[in-house]
Amino acid sequence: MSSSTETIRELAAQEYKWGFVTEVDEDRVPKGLNEEIVRLISTRKGEPEWLLAWRLNALRRWFQMEREAGAPAWANLKIAPIDYQEIVYYSAPKKRPALESLDQVDPEILKTYEKLGIPLEEQKRLAGVAPTQTPKIAIDAVFDSVSVATTFKDKLAEMGVIFCSFSEAVKNHPDLVKKYLGSVVPPTDNFYAALNAAVFTDGSFVYVPKGVRCPMELSTYFRINAAETGQFERTLIVADEGAVVSYLEGCTAPIRDTNQLHAAVVELVALDDAQIKYSTVQNWYPGDKEGRGGIYNFVTKRGKCAGRNAKISWTQVETGSAITWKYPSCILQGDNSVGEFYSVALTNNRQQADTGTKMIHIGKNTRSTIVSKGISAGHGQNTYRGQVKILPGAEGARNYTQCDSLLIGDQCGAHTFPYIDVRNPTAQMEHEASTSKIGEDQLFYLRQRGLKTEDAVSMIVNGFCKTVFKELPMEFAVEAQKLLGVSLEGSVG
Amino acid sequence: MKTGKAENRQGFFSGRDMGRAAIGKGSMEKTAMALLEIRDLHAAVDGHEILKGVNLTVNAGEVHSIMGPNGSGKSTLSSVLARRDTYEVTGGSVLFNGKNLLAMEPEEAACEGVFLAFQYPVEIPGIGNAYFLRSAVNAVRKYRGQDELDAMDFLPLYKERMKLLEMDEKFMNRSVNEGFSGGEKKRNEILQMAMLEPKLAILDEADSGLDIDALRIVSGGVNALRNPDRAFLVITHYQRLLNTIKPDFVHVLVDGKIARSGGPELALELEETGYGWAEAEQTQALSA
Ligand SMILES: Nc1ncnc2c1ncn2[C@@H]1O[C@H](COP(=O)(O)OP(=O)(O)OP(=O)(O)O)[C@@H](O)[C@H]1O
Ligand SMILES: [Mg+2]
């Protein structure tokens, strides 16, 4: 045992590779949370009156929740109390891009995205040089609180697809925003959703019109840069009747020894026969080995299959963050609608994750699939929390849940809390669960064939996650595999 | 010391091997350095001493068979040679190709050319056979300073060798050993050996659980891999395997020590007499 433990200790010394800070001038509002700050954010963003009213209402509800119950405490997480008055709620790169052209974006920011492997510039150039070729991915990049660049907008607009920052959507497509904002996650939904509704700064907006199959992957890249700020983005995706869209988000943050708060909201709406596939590769800074620093990731993600035969599929690979509190869910309202949740959550060192999903079956013959793979290493704590609810009207509903945990070492923990609530006798439910340890026999077998310990560990883990990875778009599946390898460094003990 | 079986060893694997087989006899002459030199090896598991002073010399090109009663330490010996770290070496030395094998990690030993066909091959869910084996072959090639093989280079070789082991191509993308029958697992071990081209191949009961056809295929595979640069340690309980894989030497391991060594005739004798004599000797030794 000793020698593999040593190799792994050495690996543990490796650091988070995305932890650099970009020097840009920031325009930030003062610390603290109150009506004035919310008004200030709204003014900075040149928002209409209705949106300010919406924010202020959310803020009042948040204060009420905080007074009455405080932050939710039911999750299996140990969290130091957060002082919401110590956070900066708005920070933006000073040289505000006109958003018409990438040339006006601060070159430091472009460099950052390049370092992260997102060649905005390259894509633009390629698009210009070979306009006949359909690009594979369009990217919206959100730097601290604002969206700095969205690529391939024109190309998408030809097909009627709207892909822009949330702020732009408020200006250019107010009717759509008004109609759907808060329709899936109301401002009063929960503590963090209320906070987000009050102070959200930017995010992405997607609308795919009737019958349109979006010709490329849409992607948003989130980057927290500024110190002491929180990031509160809001994403809204609407797929009209028969529309199909695949969307991916990625996120990173610099290394800082204080915790930073990320409280996002994502709402998906799928009308009749529409399909939305939403994939996340979450790699926020996880904190150091002793658990100093790292992002607190409190996210509310929910999709509504509003129409018949609609389908919403969530795939997430969660490797970052000190704390992850996240339950991408589906409301299966339309008859025959389908909800899916595929998740890989990895906790290493002192990371804690409490994640899972809710599948609410309302319509007839609605189907849901849940596949959760939790990996715990070091002192990591990994909790799966899922709810499947079959309402009385959901004749013939079906759910399949598979929930597997993999332990690396003996100081970590895996926990599962599946809640099942069936109120229609025709429902068919299937549940499978397993917990296993990375076996010394598996490691030895692979090493005997010449593989290094770290490669052997990541091969075993990748095998464990395969059913989830195959749901990711091709390019990102490869990304996710590599990321898992890196995040595992310092495991087994 | 001569085996003189070069003519049986058709170079099933590569032109290079075939070439060497043809000049095999020449390289047999050298006696300068043994491939494997085990001296007074002691090893323990969880504080129990299992190997109690093993001595064994194996030259390149030779096939040694190790027999012995259940629990006598055969798998322990093969695990120690493959550097499994749950086995603690408490004394003695092992030189492999002149290098201190006991100082190596399992992956180093593998890259240096030690291959272990497991008595109980391990399942790796979610990882395809071809992907796994290409990673392994490339890890070894990298260690040896050779170019890595991409899928285009690798697959034709892999398929060719699958054919020789009469394995269906559908195994290629199935997860490593997952849901394989006992015999299929054993064939898969020999296939891996064929791809990794080791200097020392240790086969721990490669014949257990095989039907008659599989036994023929596995022993045929091993015979095809014999060459003057490669040695085999064949652990088995049964003469039937040794009928086709003809060993140069047979050793009997009893209670962590080699109790007897001899030529192929020793295996035949054991078939008749069993290990009763060894137990008798042990009781004698204890009461003395
Ligand atoms: N963890 C352990 N603790 C104590 N004894 C052990 C442990 N592991 C193995 N042994 C013992 O070591 C001895 C040697 O085992 P080994 O597997 O090497 O035998 P073998 O000769 O390969 O037997 P077989 O012919 O049945 O395969 C056995 O008596 C076994 O019970
Ligand atoms: Mg054995």
* Average pLDDT over every residue of A142-158: 69
Name the burial class of residue A454, with classes exposed (0-12), middle (13-18) and buried (19+) by CB atoms within 10 angstroms of its CB: buried
* Nearest in space to B234 (alpha carbons), one of B213, B220, B224, B248: B248
Name the burial class of residue B187, with classes exposed (0-12), middle (13-18) and buried (19+) by CB atoms within 10 angstroms of its CB: buried
Given a cut of 90, whether residue A377 has pLDDT beyond it is no
Given a cut of 90, whether residue B44 has pLDDT beyond it is yes
Confidence of residue A151 (pLDDT cuts 50, 70, 90): low
Tokens representing residue B92 in the block: 């003695």
The answer to whether A97 and A148 have CB atoms below 8 angstroms apart is yes
Whether residue B127 and residue A460 make contact (CB cut-off 8 A), yes or no, is yes
Residues of B with a Cβ under 8 Å from any A Cβ are 82, 84-86, 105-107, 109-111, 115-116, 118, 121-127, 132-133, 135-137, 139-140, 143, 175, 192, 196
Which chain A residue lies closest to B193 (C-alpha atoms)?
Answer: A449
What is the SS3 assignment for A386?
strand
Least confident of A292-296, A410-414, B132-136, B284-288: B284-288
Total number of residues shown for chain B: 288
Instruction: Kindly list the distances between the CA atom of residue A64 and the CA atoms of A60, A70, A82, A190, A191, in Å, as whole numbers in the listed order.
Output: 6, 9, 17, 11, 10
* Average pLDDT over every residue of B153-180: 90
* Average pLDDT over every residue of B105-133: 95
pLDDT tens readout for residues A99-120: 445 555 566 666 666 665 655 5
Distance B123 CA to ligand 2 centre (A): 18
Residues of B in contact with A440 (CB under 8 A): 86
Given a cut of 80, whether residue B3 has pLDDT beyond it is no
Given a cut of 80, whether residue A412 has pLDDT beyond it is yes
Q: Which residues contact A389 (CB under 8 A, 6 or more apart)?
A: A358, A359, A360, A361, A421, A422, A423
Given a cut of 90, whether residue A427 has pLDDT beyond it is yes
* Average pLDDT over every residue of A348-354: 87
Confidence of residue A216 (pLDDT cuts 50, 70, 90): confident
If one counts every other C-beta atom within 10 angstroms of the C-beta of residue A243, the result is 26
The answer to whether B252 and B261 have CB atoms below 8 angstroms apart is yes
Ligand that comes closest to the CA of residue B70? 1
Confidence of residue B2 (pLDDT cuts 50, 70, 90): very low
Amino acid identity for residue A132 in this structure:
T
**Ligand 1 neighbour B202 (Cβ under 6 A):** no
Instruction: Kindly list the distances between the CA atom of residue A167 and the CA atoms of A97, A102, A149, A174, A270, in Å, as whole numbers in the listed order.
Output: 13, 17, 12, 10, 22
A268 phi/psi in degrees, rounded to 5: -120, 140
* Average pLDDT over every residue of B33-40: 94
Name the burial class of residue A244, with classes exposed (0-12), middle (13-18) and buried (19+) by CB atoms within 10 angstroms of its CB: middle
Q: What is the DSSP string of A302-319?
A: EEEE-STT-EEEEEEEE-
What is the spatial distance between Cα B47 and Cα B173, in angstroms, rounded to a whole number?
A: 41
pLDDT tens readout for residues A20-66: 666 666 677 788 899 999 999 999 889 999 999 999 999 999 999 99
Residues of A with a Cβ under 8 Å from any B Cβ are 1-4, 7, 439-442, 444-453, 455, 459-460, 462-467
Provide the percentage of residues in chain A whose pLDDT is more than 90: 45
Instruction: Kindly list the distances between the CA atom of residue A443 and the CA atoms of A457, B125, B160, B178, B259, in Å, as whole numbers in the listed order.
Output: 7, 13, 28, 16, 33
Tokens representing residue A452 in the block: 């290094």
The helix/strand count (H/E) of chain A reads as 12, 23
Amino acid identity for residue A204 in this structure:
S
* Nearest in space to A229 (alpha carbons), one of A258, A249, A202: A258
Q: For position A411, what pLDDT does the model report?
A: 85
Q: What is the DSSP string of B216-248?
A: HHHHHHHHHH--TT-EEEEE-S-HHHHHHS--S
* Average pLDDT over every residue of B138-142: 95
Q: For position A289, what pLDDT does the model report?
A: 83
- Residue A443's Cα: distance from chain center in Å? 32
Tokens representing residue B120 in the block: 């109980």
Confidence of residue A17 (pLDDT cuts 50, 70, 90): low
Q: For position A145, what pLDDT does the model report?
A: 55
Residues of B in contact with A448 (CB under 8 A): 82, 84, 106-107, 109-110, 115-116, 118
What is the spatial distance between Cα A484 and Cα A465, in angstroms, rounded to a whole number?
A: 10
**Ligand 1 neighbour B78 (Cβ under 6 A):** no
Which DSSP state fits A80? P
Given a cut of 70, whether residue A407 has pLDDT beyond it is yes
Whether residue A445 and residue B140 make contact (CB cut-off 8 A), yes or no, is no
Q: For position A160, what pLDDT does the model report?
A: 94
Q: What is the DSSP string of A111-171?
A: HHHHHTT--HHHHHHHHHH-TTSPPSEEEEEEETTEEEEE-SHHHHHTTT-EEEEHHHHHH
Given a cut of 80, whether residue A460 has pLDDT beyond it is yes
Distance B72 CA to ligand 1 centre (A): 7
Instruction: Kindly list the distances between the CA atom of residue B262 and the CA atoms of B33, B64, B77, B242, B249, in Å, as whole numbers in the listed order.
Output: 21, 10, 19, 14, 6
pTM: 0.79
Confidence of residue B93 (pLDDT cuts 50, 70, 90): very high
Partner residue facing A447 (CB), from B110, B124, B137: B110
Least confident of A187-191, B257-261, B282-286: B282-286
Q: For position B15, what pLDDT does the model report?
A: 35
**Ligand 1 neighbour B48 (Cβ under 6 A):** yes
**Ligand 1 neighbour B86 (Cβ under 6 A):** no
Name the burial class of residue A332, with classes exposed (0-12), middle (13-18) and buried (19+) by CB atoms within 10 angstroms of its CB: buried
Given a cut of 80, whether residue A74 has pLDDT beyond it is yes
3-state helix, strand, coil in chain B (%, to 5): 45, 25, 30
For residue A134, the distance in angstroms to the closest alpha carbon of chain B comes to: 28
Given a cut of 70, whether residue A2 has pLDDT beyond it is no
ipTM of the prediction: 0.88
Calculated CA dihedral for residues B136, B138, B141, B145, nearest 10 degrees: -140
E strand or H helix at A180, and its extent? helix A174-180
What is the spatial distance between Cα A373 and Cα B40, in angstroms, rounded to a whole number?
A: 47
* Nearest in space to B81 (alpha carbons), one of B27, B43, B45: B43
Residues of A in contact with B86 (CB under 8 A): 1, 440, 444
Tokens representing residue A370 in the block: 């849940």
Given a cut of 50, whether residue A469 has pLDDT beyond it is yes
* Average pLDDT over every residue of A255-262: 74
